[in-house]
Structure 1
Amino acid sequence: MTTAFRQSARARCATTALWSHALLTRLIAVFALWLAVTVLGSIAAAGPVFAQMAAQQQTYMQEWESTALRAEQSIDSRRASSAAFEQLRKELTSFRQDFQAEKSKNKQRIQTLTNQISALGEPPAEGETEPEDIAALREQLTSQLNQLKSPRLIAESAFSRADGLISEVDSIIRERRTKYLLQRGPSPLNPELWPDALAALGWAGRTLWLETKSQIGSDTTVEKIWGSFPEILLLVLLGSFLLLRGRFWARAMGGRLRMMGARGTGVWTFIVSLLQVALPLLGILLLTTSLEVSGILGVRGTLMLEHLPGWALILFSFHWLGDQLFKAPEEVSLVPFAVARRGEARLMIDLWAVILVLQDVLYELYQLEKTSVDTQSVLSFPLILAAALVMYRLNMLGVSKAEAEPSELAQGAADKAEPDTEQETRISIGASRLFDVVRRGAFFLGFAAPLLAAVGYVNAAEALIYPAISTLLLLAVLFVVQRFAGDLYGFVSGQGDAARDSLVLVAVGFTLSLIALPLLSLIWGARVADMTELWSTFLAGFQIGDTQISPVAFLSFVVVFALGYGVTRVVQSTLRTSLLPKTKIDPGGQNAIVSGLGYVGVFLAALVAISMAGLDLSSLAIVAGALSVGIGFGLQTIVSNFVSGIILLVERPISKGDWIEVGGLMGYVRDISVRSTRIETFDRSDVIVPNSDLITGTVTNYTRGNTVGRVIVPVGVAYGTDPRRVEAILNEIAQSHPMVLLKPAPSVIFQGFGADSLDFEIRAILRDVNWVLSVKSDLNYEIAARFAAEEIEIPFAQRDLWIRNPEAFAQSKAKDAQPDQNSVQATTGASTGTRLAVDRPDLDDMHDSAAEADPDADR
């Protein structure tokens, strides 16, 4: 019977399994058919769109192929100019960026298809068959995956090609620039070259004048001038007014601005100084526009006129910078020069501006007239020499400031309008240290530049002297802007001159230094393309496993984490101040809830920030494993304290506000943090105890769960007092105190017979053990008052003094008629307190007599 039943059950199970397999196969087939129909329908519907996209991609790839071939041909021939190579590099960089973006497209879709194919299992080995529906689905998913991977592979190949071409173009440009700097021409000191150079310069000036004169005498120009005469007249009048009276108008406006407040902060002074540059510069722009409208200049004059606003900006800005660096005698300078030398220092800055403008004018003439290398060397050498001499003189002025009399500097500081000049002087001296270091380096370059130019390396000399000047001026501009930032922060915050010592000013200085780095690179010959390349590399970040760490991801992490951290702190503050005080939770529990919420909030904020930044933590498993090893060996104490802090907050053996004793220290728990616990002792000092000591050590908690505690008050009475009477009095005193609980009732313990008294103890339970000292003091006061009223004596310790040789006192008395009037008092009874007075002789005589009477006696 049993065997038949088992066979029937096995048959039913086999039938059920076959039916289930058939059903599963049908479902998979239906799903595959639906997926195929959906995909084909989508492809059919999107056919025109895909066709258009394919055509655009084909056109784009043709353009890329054409550009790449042109770049390769230019690189092979090396006949293109540097400007042409720079333009070609821009085109290649644009293509490379597009390919870079294409490489990261469809990344999630490719990952999804890969996961789907992996879910189907391993493909069957040779000789094995796979269900048709599974095989069709695998083939379809593989086809989609290949279609998505193909553009990515093409983009990767094109990206590598573009990156290689860009590197070759950069190499050619750098080689040419190096060759240009190291090119040695004729020496400008050769007198044979001077006549030709002067003739070329005169020819350029004469050509410009004749061209302008011819243009003015043209009927077309006269007609154009009369046709636009009102406009030209308005531009000339307004431009002349701003150029001649703009500085005075700016000073008048500054006086009105100072009436608004912020006197002494330098904010309005700085704004007025900028207006003194902006208004005359605006006048130059208006006059330049009037010349363009009139059309009186020829081709050369028009080309030179385009650079006139830039030259005016150099002159005005350098003059402004000199005024900011070297203040008037009644003010404190940013760079502490002697008062008598500041005017000359400002003049040197103006001469630098003139030299830079003249150098740019010569460069434009070189381009217009196509002068020879010999002429360029001769004409450039005087400007190089003049710039070096100005640098030498400015360096000497900076060195001579140390020779200035202290009284002179002090007088200059005392004459300043603002009251607090000591702080500004300290800032100026501190800021000038870096300036002095850079100044010495620039002086060395300024000394080397004329020597190089004299032997024919004019290009190298210009590449040294002019960037050195620009570096000094850029550094000076940073100092000026930092000082203005301090004045502005002092004005906004209301701190005044004290804001110059704040950390905000340090942060501003650090930011300005970072901004100055690319500017310094450009000054010393770095190309804009190089800076763009570095910036792109910086934005791309670096790769750790499959995770790309970039500044954008880092900033996203910081912003999201900061927001989450802020929300956590707001919720904690709301719970601590508003919600939890209204509940019946004790202060320790409230602190545990708030602290635990803080840890959870910070952890969640970190997780959300990591997810928003797109960081994959799974790829950081190796790094996390290495860090865990380091934590296990080097940070085990910190981790132990951290885990102990979590246990304290969860288990709560101690809570905030508890009175505890640990390691011989006693006090109140004021704060439980993640690493340690702060205990405030009774002398109001804070003791920081590691959390591990509270978990692994012995801790006495006097207020755990409640504040009920016991007080013990010992007292002794004289022998002969009735113990029962004492017991009744002490019971009455204990029960009458309001802090003593009556259930359980206080008790009086007769401890025993002491050396001097009968010893009793009051043992009582208090409502709040935190008042134990006050209660003990109150009980002692009451005991003293009641015992005095009941005439019960509280004895004190008494001792008897025995003299072994009293006869020595009699002999000493007989020998000395005038004994010392000092006396020795000794007690003769323990209970009565009787005192025996004995005349005390001189100590030396007493010792001598005692020695004669009993030589063996102890002294």
Structure 2
Amino acid sequence: MPFLTRFLTLLAVVLCLVTGTVQAQETTLESAVPSFDRWEGIAREAENAIDQNSGTDETLMAMRNRIAEFRTAFDNARSINSARIRTVREQLAALGPPPEGENAPAEPPDVAAQRDALNEELSRLQVPVQRAETEFVRADSLIGQIDTILRDRQAQQLLTVTPSPLNPAYWQPALADFTTAVAGLRNETPNAANARTWSALRDNLPVVAALFVLGLILILRGRFWAEMIVRSLQSHGARGFGIWRFVVSLLRIFLPAAGLVALAFAVISSEVLGPKGENILLIISLLGGIMLGVRWVSERIFSRDDDEALLLLSQKKRKEARFHIGMITVMIIITELISQILKTGESAPVTLSVLEFPWLVISSLMLYRIGVLLRGYSEPSSATDGTLTEVRTSTLGRVVRGLGTGAVVIGCVSPVLLAAGYFQAVDALMPPYIMTLVLLGLVMVLQRFFADLYGALTGQGEAARETLMAVLFGLVLLLLVLPLLALVWGARVTDLTELWQAFGRGFAVGETRISPVDFLTFAVIFAIGYVLTRLVQSALRGNVLPKTKIDIGGQNAIVSGLGYIGIFLAALAAITGAGIDLSSLAIVAGALSVGIGFGLQNIVSNFVSGIILLIERPISEGDWIEVGGQMGYVRDISVRSTRIETFDRTDVIVPNADLVSGTVTNFTRGNTVGRLIVPVGVAYGTDTRRIDAILREIAEDQPMVLTTPPPNVLFMNFGADALEFEIRCFLRDVNWMMLVKNDINHAIAERFREEGIEIPFAQRDLWLRNPEVLRTRDDGAGSKGAERQGEPTANDRPRADDLDDPDSGRDAATGDEIA
């Protein structure tokens, strides 16, 4: 397929899809039941052509289009009488099941007559639906078979071998065919001496002159004007300058392309060319616009400015890439012109391959060089010292290097295939790959533009290029370009429309068919219900509930419960509005229930426990609780778990089942009053009554301590080291427990120091067993030497079992006096 034909197919794909939509809408306005007699003749003709594999590609495509129209009509006919059929079935269900069995009572005559009438009407209504369903399957099968035949023929064409263009025997005939075609174009031109031609030229001279001058001005000054606009915007500090540079760069190709079109129409208006010459002229202007477009993409990808280049290679490599891309576009224009000129006359099949061979070889070499540049691409990343180091590997880098590898392979293989005569294979390989590179480059350019536009709207500037929105823009653009890539690589428009129609028909679940319209209806209804639920929750939380006497925990429970109910109702309304029948999912629901019983029981348990917590409200947000050894404030209660913030400012996620089935201590439930206990110890011999009065006075001086009930001081125990007292008091807010305890301890220490009251430390009485081992013994020189040095000998050192001797007055290990 020539390059121009591929490009025109891409331009026409959107129009084809729109036309297909309009035709589908018009078909729905036709008769609900199609003509089965007319369809039968077309179906039999198609079946014979398929069985014999006869007919040209154009004949099969025309036959396929007629079958597709009938298939659409059959698809629409499957839904006729649906409302009436549903009503009749509901009426039969209202009558109840007919009596069965020999001993069953007879059905009343009027009920039986009504049942028979309804069954007869149901059968009559279902006849066209069942026939349409059967013929729809038949038409769909015929279309699939025709597509298979066309794809097989297309695959066979790729393996077609023409004589090698390297054979000199074909050079002279090829040049002769080309010369003949050019002569045919020249002979088609009207005679300049023809008075009628001069008269037409004289009449159209103002229009011709105006178009000619306009075309020259746009071609010669268009790029200069665009650059002048850029400099003007830059000097005035225009906001979103990257966006303006993008728009102005479009003018740099739009103005010269418009100039080419103006020149072409100027020549056509002069009527000095024949129909074939005018067609060639229009093709030249179109090819010029394509070349400018490809050049624009290359200048955006391999820009001269480092801040605008999308692939940040070195300046030398970017310049080389732009040169190779420009050369490829020139070669494509030359080969397309040769193809269009040869179409105007009669030529041998080998002529086209011989004349296009050198230009295609040059294109393959240029593609090879571009592949080498792309294979060496690596994204730069900033080092700690501010320099650029090429160490980062990303998805973009891998894709670019992969495309470079593909370009190298195709650039090496194409000349070999051309020399061997596989011209069709190269035509199906190299031009599509070049167009793929251009389309992917266009995606990168548009992604950068939308990211800059988003940055200008949000105030993020160039930082928006690294946000998630830029990635989403790229994904959407890739999805939009996928049909174009499919067309580039040989897919037919009918293949895409077939996929689109299959997508539009949806898929069947039981007796219910779910289509994209159903999904859209479901999403819209659910979104409306969800937004309304959130609005009601916001109104309750901000305006209604604060004016009531309900505590904050109850308010949160009401708002959360209303949210769950609202989402459930929104989902139910969306399912009903979309017409999705859930009865067919009963088997699936039964299987899911088994799975819930085994694998999801913990999740379901936590969900039910969360509902119980919201209803019973044993704990609320803001409560100080202790559960499972964790103590802190409740910050959030969801349907699965509860989040507790500890005093260390860490979040602890507790499953709701633990809160319902376990032991939970709630320090602030109902009110914030709580008791504080402060233990105090004094030395033996201290006046206990005096201690009682001092401690009571300290507790009463605390502003957070309640006077009713008053604080109390208890003499708890005669401890091993001290006389043990406790201050017991109730606080207005138990959340201040630690601060109050801190203040009381400080006050106790200061008051005891002023009063001379001793706070004892731990004491122990040690008793030594066998004290005679501590007596001095004369056990030799070593002992005497040790005695002279004032050190105990080995015999003088006590054993562990001697430390309990009651006769000793000192600790053998420390030498301290023992009480």
TM bin (shorter chain): 0.7 to 0.9
Corresponding residue number in structure 1 for 2:175: 198
1:768 Cα deviation from its structure 2 partner: 2.0
Tell me the residue number matched to 2:232.
256
Structure number with bigger Rg? 1
1:133 pairs with one of 110, 114, 122: 110
1:117-155 deviations in Å (ceiling 9; x for gaps): 343345578999754433442343233323321221232
Corresponding position of 1:508? 473
Once the 2 structures are TM-superposed, how far is the Cα of residue 562 of structure 1 from its aligned partner? Answer: 3.0
Q: Please name the residue that 1:90 is paired with.
A: 65
Moved more, 336-345 or 224-233: 336-345
User: How many Å apart are 1:450 and its aligned residue?
Assistant: 2.5
- Percent sequence identity is 48
Report the counterpart of residue 6 of structure 2 in structure 1. Answer: none
Q: Secondary structure at the match of 2:622?
A: coil
Of residues 569, 585, 591 in structure 2, which corresponds to 1:626? 591
Q: Indicate the larger mover: 483-492 or 393-402.
A: 393-402
AA matched with 2:612: I
Aligned partner of residue 738 in structure 1, secondary structure: coil
1:113 — aligned with what? 88
For 2:393 and 2:763, locate their aligned partners in 1 and report how far apart those are by CA, in whole Å: 77
Name the structure, 1 or 2, with higher relative contact order (CA <8 Å, separation 6+): 2
Which residue of structure 1 lines up, in the alignment, with residue 166 of structure 2? 189
Alignment partners' CA distance in 2, 1:209 and 1:843: 137
2:144 partner letter: S
CA distance in structure 2 between the partners assigned to 1:218 and 1:72 by the alignment:
57
> Which deviations, in whole Å up to 9, do the C-alpha atoms of 1:83-121 show, x marking residues without a partner?
232233222212211210110222232122123234334
When structure 1 is superposed on structure 2, of 255-264 and 514-523 the one drifting more is: 255-264
Q: How does 1:538-577 map to 2 (within 5 A)?
A: 538-577=503-542
Once the two structures are TM-superposed, the CA of residue 777 in structure 1 deviates from its matched residue by 3.0
Letter in 1 for 2:64: R
Letter in 2 for 1:162: A
**2:564 — aligned with what?**
599
1:385 maps to which of 343, 361, 376: 361
Partner of 2:633: 668
Q: Quote the residue 1:769 is aligned against.
A: 734
* 3-state SS in 1 of match to 2:309: coil
AA of the residue aligned to 2:220: L
CA distance in 1, matches of 2:353, 2:691: 119
Aligned residue for 1:188, secondary structure, equals coil
Aligned counterpart in structure 1 of residue 607 of structure 2, from 617, 624, 642: 642
Q: Structure 2: which 5+ runs fail to align?
A: 1-27, 803-811, 814-819
From the superposition, tell whether residues 263 and 426 of structure 1 become closer, same or farther in structure 2 (CA, over 3 Å): farther
**2:371–2:407 CA contact under 8 A, matched in 1:** no
Is the contact between residue 215 and residue 298 of structure 1 (CA under 8 Å) also seen in structure 2? Answer: no
CA contact (8 A) 2:253 2:296 kept: yes
Normalising by structure 1, we get a TM-score of 0.81
Cα distance, 1:198 vs. partner?
Answer: 0.3
CA distance in 2, matches of 1:421, 1:474: 33
* 1:232 aligns to 2:208 (yes or no): yes
Contact 2:375 2:402 in 1 (8 A): no
The structural deviation recorded for 1:610 is 1.8
Shift of 1:190: 1.9
Q: 1:601 to 1:150 in 2, by over 3 A?
A: same
- Measure, in 2, the Cα distance between the counterparts of 1:569 and 1:593: 13
C-alpha separation in 1, matches of 2:351 and 2:357: 10
Letter in 2 for 1:234: A
- 1:148 maps to what in 2? 125
2:233 alignment partner AA: L
Equivalent residue, structure 2, for 1:49? none
Seen in structure 2, the aligned counterparts of structure 1 residues 131 and 712 have a Cα distance that, compared at 3 Å, is closer
The residue identity in structure 2 corresponding to 1:112 is: T
Give unpaired runs (5+ residues) of structure 1: 1-52, 415-419, 816-840
**1:438 to partner: Cα distance:** 1.9
Change (3 A) 1:390 1:796: closer
Contact between 2:372 and 2:405, CA under 8 Å: does it hold in 1?
no
- Shift of the 622–126 alpha-carbon distance from structure 1 to 2, 3 Å rule, reads closer
Structure 1 residue aligned with 2:330: 354
Length, aligned pairs only = 766
For 2:456 and 2:517, locate their aligned partners in 1 and report how far apart those are by CA, in whole Å: 34
Indicate yes or no: 2:676 matched with 1:701: no
Deviation at 1:853, TM superposition (A): 8.8
SS at match of 1:559: helix
Correspondence list, 1:623-772, <5 A? 623-772=588-737
Contact preservation (8 Å) 2:302, 2:310: yes
Distance 1:337 1:776 in 2: 69
Q: Structure 2 vs 1, CA of residues 391 and 738 (structure 1 numbering), >3 Å: closer, same or farther? A: closer
C-alpha change, 1:751 and 1:230, in structure 2 (3 Å) is: same
- Assess if the C-alpha contact under 8 Å between 1:657 and 1:669 holds in 2: yes
Counterpart in 2 of 1:29? none
Instruction: Give the drift of 1:201.
Output: 0.6
Q: 1:190 to 1:275 in 2, by over 3 A?
A: same
Letter in 2 for 1:235: L
Q: Partner letter of residue 102 of structure 1? A: A
Shift of 1:854: 7.9
* C-alpha displacement of 1:434: 0.8
Q: 2:555 aligns with which of 590, 605, 616?
A: 590
Residue 517 of structure 1 aligns with which residue? 482
- 1-side partners of 2:241 and 2:787: how far apart? 81
- Tell me the equivalent position of 1:474: 439
C-alpha distance 810-721 of structure 1, shift in aligned 2 (>3 A):
farther
Alignment deviations for residues 235-269 of structure 1 (CA, whole Å, 9 cap, x no partner): 11112111111111111122333456566863222
RMSD after superposition: 3.6
Which residue, 299, 318, 324 being the options, matches 2:275?
Answer: 299
| Partners of 1:369 and 1:844 in 2: CA distance | 134
Q: Could you say what secondary structure the match of 1:369 adopts?
A: coil
Which residue number corresponds to residue 180 of structure 1? 157
**In 2: Cα distance, 1:687 partner to 1:69 partner:** 73
Label 1:122 to 1:753 Cα distance change in 2 as closer, same or farther (>3 A): closer
2:672, 2:732 within 8 Å by CA — same for their partners in 1?
A: yes
Q: How much has 1:437 moved relative to structure 2?
A: 0.6
More helix by percentage: 1
Contact 1:265–1:487 under 8 Å retained in 2: no
Q: Deviations over 1:353-411 (max 9, x none)?
A: 12222232233234321322122232232233222122123234445779xxx9xx99x
Matches of 2:604 and 2:75 in 1, distance apart? Answer: 44
1:157 is displaced (CA, Å) by: 3.2
Q: Does 1:286 align with 2:262?
A: yes
Q: Which AA in structure 2 matches 1:372? A: A
